[in-house]
Structure 1
Amino acid sequence: MRALRVLSQRDQAIRGRVAAEVTGSLDRADLESAALVAHAAMERETSRVQSARAPACAAGCSYCCHVHAYATAAEILAVAAWLCRSLAPEALCALKERLAAHVARVEPLSDEARWAARIPCALLDARGLCSVHPARPLRCRAFHSCSAEDCRDAFEGRSDLLPSRSPLLARAADAVEAGYDDALVAAGVDASGHRLELGLLRALEG
């Protein structure tokens, strides 16, 4: 029981810390800044609880990137801003065309149908690398697996089991997201999740 109490206290401390940081950014700046603060908090808090059973995730391992990714409106704006800063006009135009075609294909699909069809995220490059990795949403940062074999088996249809995860890492990530949501809700900002590809297309076209 004491261990559970300690974990709960730690979760609440993370949640409160992140909420305060995000609230401060909302007071000073804009939604993009709030998302960036939350992203930095996710990296910091999850790195604190890395254990001997570290995630097996590595560059190019993209089995999990064949589902609908969800992000808040603030995070979508942060991704759009990062792309506008990072890409030349021609590359940005090509990305918008690719996103439009991709959205037309995947938007009618449920989460389950998207996974069954194994349709990759439009932001994956030819090597299976996330092209917006520095700006990726909290959900993408939070998801992890301690076994690449579990992910491969699920992707190839040999298993219906969820990948094994680090309980401490999962709790820390959940606490960060809860703190971020708390700050947005308190500020009257939309904290709901939106499909990343569609939201990003709209943001880039807006």
Structure 2
Amino acid sequence: MDRYRRLRETALVLFRKCRESECLSMGMRSYADLADELKPAGGEGKPDCRKGCSHCCVVHVTVLVPEAYSLASWAHENCGRDFYEKLKEQAARLRWVEEEDRPLMYTPCIFLGEEGECTVHPIRPLLCRGVTSLSEKMCRDAIAMSALGEPISVVMDLVQREHYDKAFKSAAEGIEKAGGDARGYELTWAVLKAYEAILSEKEDNTPA
């Protein structure tokens, strides 16, 4: 079976009648694990990405609803109340920013740690998994030049990029067939909405 057909059918099974936060979160993590498993061998060159290298972590990231719930669930379990306040502030600041203008603000991802590490790396979004760079300097220069209105290309593993782009699309197609919301949303805003839904669920399940 074609790997992307398999991913699409897996998404359909995972997200059919799946509306609760735990179901969405665990379903997305299972789907992402399968996407990793089905990743084809990479192209030429070795990615220069490593822990603490976060030049690309200021760009717009689109996530699906189950991805937002996976991230929000992690945050609810691992972060304090101050995270929620920070999340609300950042979502409001970025809400109407155009994708191409996001690097100009140089606002780090809400999940970027103090040492430039991705705190949610094992469950990071599909589209983040597809982003690599064969040169840290080139990546750094690309972000700097985009702020000056002079974008430059970054040499990356295009095989990996294409795979996760297709995995994202396959997930969306499966979610749509399952009757769910298959649209993509800006990460910060989507995680905020998922986080608030989780808080609401917790309140509803609290004994009177």
TM-score (norm 2): 0.81
Question: Partner residue of 2:133?
Answer: 145
Q: Residues 22-37 of structure 1 correspond to what in structure 2 (within 5 A)?
A: 22-27=11-16, 30-37=23-30
Gaps of 5+ in 2: 198-208
- 1:131, distance to aligned residue in structure 2 (A): 1.8
Gaps of 5+ in 1: 1-11
Corresponding residue SS for 1:204: helix
One-letter amino acid of the structure 2 residue matched with residue 204 of structure 1: Y
Matches of 1:167 and 1:104, distance apart in 2: 33
- In structure 2, the CA distance between the partners of 1:94 and 1:193, relative to structure 1 (3 Å rule), is same
Question: Partner residue of 1:82?
Answer: 74
- 1:52, distance to aligned residue in structure 2 (A): 4.5
Question: Partner residue of 1:19?
Answer: 8
Question: Partner residue of 1:185?
Answer: 176
8 Å Cα contact 2:111-2:120 kept in structure 1: yes
Deviates more, 1:180-189 or 1:105-114: 105-114
Matches of 1:82 and 1:95, distance apart in 2: 12
8 Å Cα contact 2:72-2:194 kept in structure 1: yes
Q: Residues 55-134 of structure 1 correspond to what in structure 2 (within 5 A)?
A: 55-85=47-77, 87=78, 91-134=79-122
- 1:156, distance to aligned residue in structure 2 (A): 2.5
- In structure 2, the CA distance between the partners of 1:168 and 1:112, relative to structure 1 (3 Å rule), is closer
Matches of 2:109 and 2:89, distance apart in 1: 12
- 1:117, distance to aligned residue in structure 2 (A): 2.1
Deviates more, 1:125-134 or 1:152-161: 152-161
String of CA shifts for 1:140-182, please: whole Å, max 9, x gaps. Answer: 1122222222101112228622211223222322332232122
- 1:130, distance to aligned residue in structure 2 (A): 1.5
Deviates more, 1:112-121 or 1:58-67: 112-121
One-letter amino acid of the structure 2 residue matched with residue 199 of structure 1: A
Percentage of pairs with the same residue: 26
- In structure 2, the CA distance between the partners of 1:28 and 1:36, relative to structure 1 (3 Å rule), is farther
Matches of 1:59 and 1:98, distance apart in 2: 23
RMSD across aligned C-alpha pairs, in angstroms? 2.2
- 1:50, distance to aligned residue in structure 2 (A): 2.5
Matches of 1:200 and 1:69, distance apart in 2: 12
One-letter amino acid of the structure 2 residue matched with residue 197 of structure 1: T
Matches of 1:134 and 1:156, distance apart in 2: 28
- 1:115, distance to aligned residue in structure 2 (A): 0.9
Question: Partner residue of 1:194?
Answer: 185
Matches of 1:31 and 1:203, distance apart in 2: 10
8 Å Cα contact 1:42-1:142 kept in structure 2: no
- In structure 2, the CA distance between the partners of 1:109 and 1:28, relative to structure 1 (3 Å rule), is closer
String of CA shifts for 1:92-139, please: whole Å, max 9, x gaps. Answer: 201011112222222232122221121211221111111222221111
